[in-house]
Structure 1
């Protein structure tokens, strides 16, 4: 059995590293490692904390989400529905195993296969057909960042729906097209600022801006890929939900 001092030292090192990379990502919009490498650090921390729950602290990265500016501004919102992810799946074999498990549990399940864009996940909440809240994935379980004002200036985001359901929450992917990315970096260079490394980093930083005017001028894009939950109407399949969204004028993923 490992010495408790060794375990505490490992936890301290992991938390320090994750806080550093959180600051680079959330506050500086300049990630120093890939998402995969970040996920590995977080998975390692979660594994150690699961084994030694008595060593979990309130300020551990597993208990927090978002950048310091957003925490102090009170811009964190609780999820009504978890925004789960395949972030812990790193091989097609794991996907196949998951599908096989579903096939054993369900009677002749049908699957929808969709294209994917590597952007930033965002949930949109509508009450009586009106957009009331936009939230990033955050930790995926408990809370995300409130980006409502920024979402309102994204052209692809519907502000009102034709059918006024009491509650309708959908999830989509915010991304930046290449032409918009090139325009942003051209402006960065003109102003003598550091250019963004790639469109995903730029989109992530843009969506979390505290000034929605910056978000608007960078021309983000969005497509919806999931119905989170609804009240006032029941949906039995994923494609049925897509058909309803299209009727509302919602931009769903184009090829599925």
Structure 2
């Protein structure tokens, strides 16, 4: 079973994060020991809330794009007419995992410039593999009696795909999306090296000024977001599994 946060702890962590983003000065006494020589305690070169929302927006766009392509490829290679493209598709989705994120950014900047675009490319490539593999697994491990019954009542291939296969495979697909999102949340921080507005700005500012408080703030927000989103998508996965009559792994 997927580990879950207790409901009260989940709510406490969520509201603590919201409070920190809206009123970070309230937490300054807790972070003061991490600073030296009267350095600022709270990140003061921009809004933590704005950077967090921008970070999440970048991850969301990349994940939606990766999901659309990965699921489409998985559907293609699990059809009889597309089975021969399975090896090629696996090679394509593995490209993102082959190159380090920094290398992808370095290659993307000359083509699309600085800012959010090279970060989106890196996150998109990194997000493909878990979604593709989970979708292929979900579509190729469906209960045989169900599929035979669908064929027996005269359903066409597309009807089976849309009304039987994808709904039954949905919990496993969501599991892949969950992994992709968590990877993207962490990887997006390096986007700030090419002028993307992400929480990496806070971490980089802390490293450049030797301010551990800034580094801790950026890293903590990303970590809490990852835990909350992972937990939330796990709940969606379990819900989809119950509706499909399967047990979430």
TM-score past 0.5 threshold = no
Higher RCO (C-alpha under 8 Å, 6+ residues apart): 2
Q: Which has the higher helix share?
A: 2
Bigger strand share: 1
